[in-house]
């Protein structure tokens, strides 16, 4: 799920295809991971899991490969928030 692409709003995708397909991605690699703060990343992970993960069929992941312009702190924030998340 490339959330910054046209027609890829997670809520709309979930409403249209939820229960019929699984979703992968959703954590932005163009702005959020390289330029956001660790708190921004944690907030985005929680929001994505709240929206997409409740009924299953979602794999939390970066939209694309994580590039070398992403601070390691943001990668750890994504992984740590996912690990500590409770529905």
* pLDDT tens profile 41-74: 999 999 999 999 877 899 999 999 999 999 999 9
Name which residue leads in pLDDT, 16 or 38.
38
Instruction: Please give the residue that has the higher pLDDT: either 81 or 4.
Output: 81
pLDDT band (50, 70, 90) for residue 87: low
pLDDT tens digit sequence for 12-36: 999 899 889 999 999 999 999 999 9
Q: How far is CA 77 from CA 16, 20, 32, 85, in A?
A: 30, 30, 12, 12
The mean pLDDT of the chain is 92
Question: DSSP 3-state assignment of 53?
Answer: coil
Instruction: Specify the pTM.
Output: 0.88
Are the CB atoms for 80 and 45 separated by under 8 Å?
A: no
CA dist 47 → 3, 27, 53 (Å): 13, 10, 10
């Amino acid at each position: 799920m490339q959330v910054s692409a046209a027609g890829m709003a997670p809520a709309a995708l979930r409403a249209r295809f939820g229960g019929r397909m699984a979703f992968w991605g959703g954590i932005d690699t163009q702005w959020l991971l390289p330029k956001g703060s660790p708190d921004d990343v944690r907030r985005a992970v929680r929001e994505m899991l709240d929206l997409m993960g409740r009924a299953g069929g979602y794999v939390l992941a970066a939209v694309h490969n994580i590039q070398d312009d992403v601070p390691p702190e943001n990668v750890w924030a994504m992984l740590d928030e996912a690990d500590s998340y409770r529905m």
